[in-house]
Amino acid sequence: MKFLAPVIAVVVCLVVAAFIFLSGDDTASKAPPVASSVTESPVAAPAGVTSDMISTAPRTITPLLSSVTSADKAGAGQVAPMLADLVGRLEAKVKTDPANVNNQILLAQTYSELGRTDEGIAMLRKVALTKVETPRVNVVLASLLSKSDKPEDLAAALKLLDDATKADAGQAGIAELYRGRVYIAQGKKDVAIKTWKAALKKIPATDNARAQLEEELVKTK
């Protein structure tokens, strides 16, 4: 049953993400995306989700299920239907509030987790043209491109991560996490390990990406 623990955490985070982005409250629609996200019906705040949990949501973003292993995903059959339900709600929200970058980011991530990564990439490329929340958009776009097997997409991901960290040092931890994943996709395992080790020496202990960087190192060795 151990593999279910990360899945439960993923579902709880998606509940929070859904509540933040799809509640009718104006302040909620402006809240930053949560890290390590996942889904649930966004109609109401679930039991156990407090306003403190929402107000302290970190600014960096990770793809919805990217930190969950294949074994975890095998036991997470209940997550996909929730993601599918969230898509329709997010699509409606994006149509009614097209200027809300947070909703578009979450929709793009959700598309990717449902195997519609190309749609997520296309959406974020359009968002990037607006020059709004550029560092955050670049990091998430890079995370989706890192799943590609096309050399040009992986090269573009590295460039986006460079641009993101130059514009916002606060994105450094999560950017280095994805940089290593891009290197893995390029067949450069040693470079990825060096990248993650170097990142852990530089980013502060409060950075939400530290735990994921440490997990990547354990999995990759």
CB 67 within 8 A of CB 113: no
CA dihedral 115, 112, 45, 10 (to 10 degrees): 80
Report how many domains make up the chain. Answer: 2
Work out the widest C-alpha separation in the chain, in whole angstroms.
47
Q: Single out the residue of 9, 101, 98 nearest to residue 59, CA to CA.
A: 101
Please check whether residues 56 and 138 belong to one and the same domain.
no
Q: Is 111 helix (H, G, I), strand (E, B) or coil?
A: helix
Are both 122 and 182 inside the same structural domain?
no
Tell me: do 61 and 28 sit in the same domain.
yes
Give the per-residue pLDDT at 17.
Answer: 55
Say how far apart CA 177 and CA 143 lie, in whole Å. 9
Domain identity same for 121 and 29: yes
Q: Are residues 37 and 144 in the same domain?
A: no
What is the model's pLDDT at position 56? 34
22 and 118 in a single domain? The answer is yes
Q: Are residues 42 and 108 in the same domain?
A: yes
pTM (predicted TM-score): 0.70
Contact 108, 120 (CB under 8 A): yes
Q: What is the amino acid identity at position 172?
A: A
Same domain, 102 and 177: no
Beta-carbon contacts of residue 111 (< 8 Å; ≥ 6 apart): 87, 117, 119, 120, 123
Same domain, 172 and 122: no
The last residue of a domain, from among 100, 132, 164: 132
Give tens-digit pLDDT for 59-104. Answer: 444 444 444 444 444 545 566 677 777 889 899 999 999 999 999 9
Q: Which domain holds residue 56?
A: 1-132
Does residue 50 sit in the same domain as residue 120? yes
Write the CATH number for 166: 1.25.40
Check residue 38 and give its pLDDT.
30
- Residue at 31: amino acid letter: A
Which residue stretches of the chain are H helix? 4-22, 26-29, 51-55, 70-74, 79-96, 101-113, 117-129, 134-145, 151-167, 172-185, 189-202, 210-220
Q: What is the pLDDT along the chain (221 residues), one digit of tens a residue?
A: 444 444 434 444 444 455 445 554 443 333 333 333 332 222 233 333 333 333 333 344 444 444 444 444 454 556 667 777 788 989 999 999 999 999 999 999 999 989 999 999 999 999 999 999 999 999 999 999 999 999 999 999 999 999 999 999 999 999 999 999 999 999 999 999 999 999 999 999 899 999 999 999 999 97
Same domain, 179 and 109: no
Q: Are residues 111 and 28 in the same domain?
A: yes
Q: What backbone phi and psi angles, to 5 degrees, belong to 60?
A: -80, 160
Q: What's the start-to-end Cα distance of the chain, in Å?
A: 24
